[in-house]
Amino acid sequence: MGKICCLAGYGTLSSSLGPGEEPLCLALETATATASVALLRGERVLAVDQSPDGQHHSETLLPMIDGILSAGGYRLEAIDLFAVSIGPGAFTSLRIGLATLKGLAFGSARPAVAVSTLQALALTACRALPALAPGMLVPTLDARRGEVYAAAYSRAALAGDLGALTPRVAESVYGPGELARALPEGGTLVGEGARVVAPELIAGEPGGWRVDYASPGVPDAVAVGLLGLAGAAQGRGCPAGDLVPRYVRRAEAEVTRTAQSLEPN
């Protein structure tokens, strides 16, 4: 990945690190019903935790963060870099993750890096399935209403290497037909959204689309941390307070208000 030196004018990591020392990164992933947190020293994973099913992120996130820091004997002040997934995903869950990260980073000069949830899901799948064949990888998350949040990455290597994923189709909300038009050659669907669109896609183009049911359904914080470190190396660090969620779709309440405003009096 290379040594991280400067972050787009927002301070330097090198000033807080000893000779040859890798940055300590705290990563949060809250875009889905399963939240996770990870602590990394460079690319080495020190600790990771995942929320129990059915528990709200507002109840589990801070205790998980405290747990992984305490387990390693670290204090929050030791963190050199924060990374968080910013969507697309569940609106409330994204807001909780960002608000938590901003609270943790408040008053510090430590940079934060925003990470695409779908890119994190793609990397999670690559790391979990090292034998996944090269080709078009399509990470998907359930967006409800028969649609998915999706993107597409061409995968040129068998290892879970960050550089092996090249964006090909922009992340957005897709129904099966829209996804087929955006990616006529098909691809390998991974993530929880695959079950939403796979039946129609495979029925329409049986030779082009595949589903890897062994892949993780949601992204994990380790992938968020790795992508955050890579983003920092590219100068994409910023104050945590500047981060905003990437919803892709408007909130249901906003859609309703717009429709009501267009109704004749």
- pLDDT in the model for residue 261: 38
Peptide bond into 88 cis (omega under 30): yes
Residues 192 and 240 in one domain: no
Residues 155 and 139 in one domain: yes
227 within some domain: yes
Kindly state the helix (H) or strand (E) to which residue 97 belongs, with its residue range. Answer: helix 91-105
Closest among 116, 117, 110 to 240, alpha carbons compared: 110
Tell me: the pLDDT tens digits for 73-94? 999 999 999 999 999 999 999 9
Structural domain containing residue 95: 14-116+219-251
Residues 23 and 112 in one domain: yes
25 within some domain: yes
259 within some domain: no
> Strand 44-50 vs strand 135-144: parallel, antiparallel, or unpaired?
unpaired
Residues 55 and 185 in one domain: no
Total domains in the fold of the chain: 2
Residues 111 and 234 in one domain: yes
Residues 32 and 110 in one domain: yes
> Residues 6 or more apart from 184 whose CB is under 8 A from it?
208
DSSP per residue, 196-264: HHHHHHHHH-TTTEEE-TTS-SS--HHHHHHHHHHHHHTT--B-GGG-----SS--HHHHHHHHHHHS-
8 within some domain: no
Average confidence (pLDDT) over 197-226: 90
The CATH number assigned to the domain holding 243 equals 3.30.420.40
Tell me: the pLDDT tens digits for 105-126? 998 889 999 999 999 999 999 9
Average confidence (pLDDT) over 196-204: 90
Residues 23 and 110 in one domain: yes
Distance CA 32, CA 54 (A): 11
Tell me: the pLDDT tens digits for 170-191? 999 999 999 999 998 899 999 9
Q: What pTM does this model have?
A: 0.88
